[in-house]
Amino acid sequence: KQEVTQIPAALSVPEGENLVLNCSFTDSAIYNLQWFRQDPGKGLTSLLLIQSSQREQTSGRLNASLDKSSGRSTLYIAASQPGDSATYLCAVTPGNQFYFGTGTSLTVIP
Amino acid sequence: GAVVSQHPSRVICKSGTSVKIECRSLDFQATTMFWYRQFPKQSLMLMATSNEGSKATYEQGVEKDKFLINHASLTLSTLTVTSAHPEDSSFYICSAKKGTGPSSGNTIYFGEGSWLTVV
């Protein structure tokens, strides 16, 4: 069964710092990996989706990479802002069902 | 892009009552929808796979008689939590698969989720 792990579980950084969130998964047979943001009491917001044939995706200050063979993905956030404070989830799918990590709770301190 | 709508976004119900959560694909037909649940400080876990016109497939440990899933049309799946108890309080989120071809050709869209509080 696919297991998804995210490290660290929580992270607190001063505003302006660049940071990296890590995601690892046990089964490399995935079709895509997706990063989500979840604000307290809110739903999921999709940030980036990486197809299994891709190595990375970028959107604004966010860059996600995928190394399928090693079962790893990273989410890089440049020049962090207080508004980036949220829980970040990564999820992988072999096609239909998503397997989610437990998330990294990020706090950006003004 | 495709949109999946969930309603209600928040609901509070009394213990022992039933509550229904709707998941709609607004601009595409979804033959398959998925329901997930997230307990506090835990990850989202798949509860069941809902197929239009047939019975849902439940994951191990999920009580099918308690969590009734109906996928009566290509754009609507409903999750009914029957005889709700405080331990059912959770974040419930659905996703819908756009496309019916091989998995690699499909895209799955998530609803915004529904927060259920049972008091």
**Residue B32 forms beta bridges with which residues?**
B51, B97
Give the mean model confidence (pLDDT) for residues A62-84: 96
> How far is the alpha carbon of A63 from chain B, nearest alpha carbon, in Å?
21
**Minimum CA–CA partner of A36 in chain B:** B110
Q: Are A55 and A65 spatial neighbours (Cβ–Cβ below 8 Å)? A: yes
Chain segment B53-67, per-residue pLDDT in tens:
888 999 999 999 999
Q: Which 8-state DSSP code applies to residue A8?
A: -
Q: Taking 50 as the threshold, does the pLDDT of residue B104 lie above it?
A: no
Cα separations (Å) of B87 from A60, B12, B54, B84? 40, 13, 28, 8
CA distance linking residue A76 with residue A73, whole number of Å: 10
Instruction: Name which of A43, A86, A91 is nearest B46 in CA terms.
Output: A91
- Distance between alpha carbon A21 and the CA centroid of its chain, in Å? 6
A59 contacts in chain B (CB < 8 Å): none
**Chain pair A-B, CB pairs under 8 angstroms:** 54
